[in-house]
């Protein structure tokens, strides 16, 4: 698998509210399966062993049944939550910028680009919203409506200022194309900074799902930047 799953299922549930209630009935169906699996756990010589591997050159160590319960996945970090909230806000501005394209450009190439950005960022926003909801984290945008201007105080790296958004909104044709490309390149570079910041934060970006999500944002936007740079070059 090369990409993030579009449905996140949490690695750890701290308060256990959301998925529990939704699938309690279903959950009960599977308890017997786990119970029977535990019964055949590593005790006898012929039964399955559960080993914890060691560092290179070190022996593996047999895990007792109660230790198996301690096999956890890394929990998420406050920086992960902040990253997701910030990225939703950041993505919403990209959607707002892309929504301006069709009325202001004559370029089908730019139109295509905008459509792609819209589809991918809407998908990623849906993923991030589920990620937050599954952890009982509040997504501030949901209460304020989408759109960067609802959160004037929150300026993520690379986001256009209200003045820049206004210039973009009030331009047309070649001027719009150029402002859009310059703005979106700046905007995407900001996303790369956000990923780099996440990965530079101790304890952050460890949970498997956020790792995969963040690195795909990184590689995808890197490629889009390259593409937009060549489009911009062709307009000079």
Partner 1 sequence: MTRSGYYKQLMRSSLSAILFAVTAITLAFPGNLQGQQNDPRRTIDARVGLAPGLHDAEEAISNLELISTTAKGPGFSPDLETETPYTGGYTNSDLAFKDNYSIVGNYQGFQVYNVEDPNNPTLQVSLVCPGGQGDVSVYGDLLFMSVQERRARLDCGTQGVADSISSERFRGVRIFDISDIRNPEQIAAVQTCRGSHTHTVVNDPQDDQNVYVYVSGTSSVRPSEELAGCSGLSPEEDPNTSYFRIEVIQVPLANPETARVVNAPRLFMDQESGDISGLHQGGDFGPGTQSSRQTNQCHDITVYPELGLAAGACSGNGILLDITDVVNPVRIDEVTDPGFAYWHSATFSNDGSKVIFTDEWGGGGAPRCRDTDPLEWGADAIFEVVGRKLLFAGYYKLTAPQTELENCVAHNGSIIPVPGRDIKVQAWYQGGLSVFDFTDPANAVEIAYFDRGPVYSEEMVSGGYWSTYWYNGHIYGAEIARGFDVFKLVPSEHLTQNEIDAAALIRMDEFNAQLQPKIEWPTDVVVARAYLDQLMRNNSIRADRAVAVSTALDRVGNATQSADMTTAATDLREVAGALEADSREPLPSGQDSDRLRMRSLAESIRNLASSLLQ
d(CA 179, CA 199): 30
CB of 81 to partner 1, least distance (A): 16
Kindly determine how many residues on this chain lie close enough to bind partner 1 according to the rule CB under 8 A: 84
Sequence-distant (6+) residues with CB within 8 A of 22 are none
Nearer to partner 1, 27 or 106 (CB): 27
Of residues 73-92, which lie at the interface with partner 1 (CB under 8 A)?
73-74
Which is closer to partner 1, CB of 162 or CB of 203? 203
73 phi/psi in degrees, rounded to 5: -100, 150
**Rounded CA separation 236/233 (Å):** 5
145-184 footprint of partner 1 as x/- string (CB under 8 A): ----------------------------------------
Stretch that binds partner 1, among 34-42, 89-97, 139-147, 173-181 (CB under 8 A): 34-42
Q: Smallest gap, in angstroms, from Cβ of residue 185 to partner 1? A: 14
d(CA 43, CA 62): 10
Return the range that interacts with partner 1 (CB under 8 A); candidates 90-98, 149-157, 167-175, 214-222: 214-222
Tell which one of 15, 25, 44, 59 touches partner 1 (CB under 8 A). Answer: 59
> How far is the C-alpha of 187 from the C-alpha of 48, rounded, in Å?
52
> Of the ranges 46-54, 148-156, 169-177, 178-186, which one interacts with partner 1 (CB under 8 A)?
46-54
Give the closest residue to 73 by CA, choosing from 19, 11, 134.
11
* x/- track of binding to partner 1 for residues 129-148 (CB under 8 A): --------------------
Is residue 55 near partner 1 by the rule CB under 8 A? yes
For residue 183, the minimal CB distance to partner 1 (Å) is 19
In the complex, least distance from residue 170 CB atom to partner 1, rounded to whole angstroms: 28
Distance between CA atoms of residues 161 and 126, nearest Å: 25
Instruction: Assess 44 for contact with partner 1 (CB under 8 A).
Output: no
Tell me the C-alpha distance between 171 and 106, whole Å.
12
User: Which residue do the tokens 């256990």 mark?
Assistant: 16
Question: Can you tell me which of 43, 126, 144, 175 binds partner 1, judged by CB under 8 A?
Answer: 126
| Among residues 15, 25, 29, 143, the one that binds partner 1 under rule CB under 8 A | 29
Place of tokens 């459509």: 115
Question: Measured between alpha carbons, how far is residue 68 from residues 53, 71, 155 in Å?
Answer: 13, 5, 44
106 lies in the site for partner 1, by CB under 8 A: no
User: Residues with Cβ < 8 Å from 128, sequence gap 6 or more?
Assistant: 84, 87, 88, 91, 139, 213
């Amino acid at each position: 698998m090369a990409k993030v799953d579009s449905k996140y299922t949490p690695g750890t549930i701290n308060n256990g509210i959301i998925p529990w209630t939704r699938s309690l009935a279903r959950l009960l169906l599977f308890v017997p399966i786990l119970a029977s699996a535990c019964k055949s756990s590593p005790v006898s010589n012929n039964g399955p062993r559960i080993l914890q591997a060691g560092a290179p050159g070190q022996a593996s160590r047999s895990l007792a049944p109660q230790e198996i319960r301690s096999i956890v996945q890394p929990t998420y970090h406050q920086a992960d939550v902040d990253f997701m909230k910030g990225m939703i806000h950041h993505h919403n501005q990209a959607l707002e910028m892309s929504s301006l394209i069709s009325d202001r450009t004559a370029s089908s190439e730019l139109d295509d680009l905008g459509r792609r950005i819209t589809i991918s960022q809407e998908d990623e926003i849906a993923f991030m919203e589920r990620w937050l909801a599954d952890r009982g984290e509040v997504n501030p945008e949901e209460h304020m409506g989408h759109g960067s201007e609802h959160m004037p105080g929150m300026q993520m790296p690379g986001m256009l200022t209200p003045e820049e958004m206004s210039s973009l909104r009030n331009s047309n044709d070649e001027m719009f194309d150029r402002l859009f490309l310059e703005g979106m390149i700046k905007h995407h570079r900001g996303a790369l900074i956000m990923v780099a910041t996440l990965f530079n934060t101790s304890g952050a970006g460890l949970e498997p799902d956020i790792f995969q999500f963040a690195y795909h944002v990184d590689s995808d936007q890197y490629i889009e930047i390259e593409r937009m740079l060549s489009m911009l070059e062709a307009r000079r």
